[in-house]
Amino acid sequence: MNTLKPFPLATKKIARYASATGAAVAFALLAGCATGPNANPADPFEPMNRSVMRFNDGIDNAVLRPTATAYRNVVPSLVRTGVSNFFGNISDVWSLANNVLQLKVQNSAETFMRLNVNTFFGLGGLLDVAGDLGIERHREDFGQTLGHYRVPAGPYLVLPLLGPSTVRDTAALPVDSYGDGVGAIQDIAWRNSFYALRVVDGRANLLRVSQMLEDAALDKYSFTRDAFLQRRQSEVYDGNPPGDGGQ
């Protein structure tokens, strides 16, 4: 239980940083002051995005990475796997809704089966029984649903705390937030604890990847941007994207 004590503290620190910079970032975006004559068409806000990325890296180095490292070192691997499975099962509820919105019959059926199998036979999702049975997970969010119906991705954005995004995905965030199962928890303390645990668990799962990125990438910003846009396009088109410019 003591391992959870850093989470509320980390959440409060992040909230303070976000409130201090969020208005400035929004104003810069609306004013278009980050654009330039030689701007990348997919990333016209690059100067601003780089500044936000530096801000996010500062938060990560000061709060998230140390907390995630402590979590990984203290919490047994079996428990961490159960935590990841649990949040994955919660996210499957929203994935099911978006699969239905996109009229993906097979994916909807498989996601529905995953939910039932893992909820009832996997101790509420702590065990990924469905995965062991070969029932595939089909992650979907509202940004992907908009993309499915050919809403353009728009320029690349780096959001404070949330990281890489696009205009389309940013516009979808309020709907995704509404569909987040954790947000349905009525008790504020428990809800915030689950939010914090999910963030820390997710960051812990990326510790090795982020270290490899820092060691290998000549320009971390460009590498992250290009990899995100490529992966996001692949997600929207279920691994079969059209030619360049098909977002």
For residue 39, give both structure tokens: 């701007």
**Measuring CA to CA, which residue among 143, 148, 150 is closest to residue 167?**
143
Residue 161 lies in a domain: yes
Residue 246 lies in a domain: no
Residue 247 lies in a domain: no
**Residue type present at position 194:** F
Q: What is the pLDDT of residue 215?
A: 80
* SS3 state at 68: helix
Enclosing domain of residue 67: 2-236
Provide the 8-state DSSP code for 132.
H
Largest CA distance in the chain: 58
Q: How many CB atoms lie within 10 A of CB 168?
A: 21
On whether the CB atoms of residues 200 and 70 are closer than 8 A, the answer is: no
CA 46 to chain centre: 21
Whole-model pTM?
A: 0.82
User: What are residue 130's phi and psi, to 5 degrees?
Assistant: -60, -40
**Measuring CA to CA, which residue among 56, 122, 110, 134 is closest to residue 84?**
122
**Measuring CA to CA, which residue among 32, 54, 55, 58 is closest to residue 45?**
32
Residue 165 lies in a domain: yes
The count of domains in the chain is: 1
Residue 111 lies in a domain: yes
On whether the CB atoms of residues 221 and 164 are closer than 8 A, the answer is: no
Q: What is the pLDDT of residue 35?
A: 55
Residue 244 lies in a domain: no
User: What are residue 38's phi and psi, to 5 degrees?
Assistant: -105, 30
State whether the Cα torsion 113-126-96-148 is positive or negative. negative
Residue 59 lies in a domain: yes
For residue 48, give both structure tokens: 């601003």
Residue 241 lies in a domain: no
Per-residue pLDDT of the chain (247 residues; tens, 9 = 90+): 444 444 445 444 444 444 444 443 444 444 445 455 567 889 999 999 999 999 999 999 999 999 999 999 999 999 999 999 999 999 999 999 999 999 999 999 999 999 999 999 999 999 999 999 999 999 999 999 999 999 999 999 999 999 999 999 999 999 999 999 999 999 999 999 999 999 999 999 999 988 888 887 679 999 999 999 999 999 999 988 876 544 5
Provide the 8-state DSSP code for 106.
H
Q: What is the pLDDT of residue 37?
A: 58
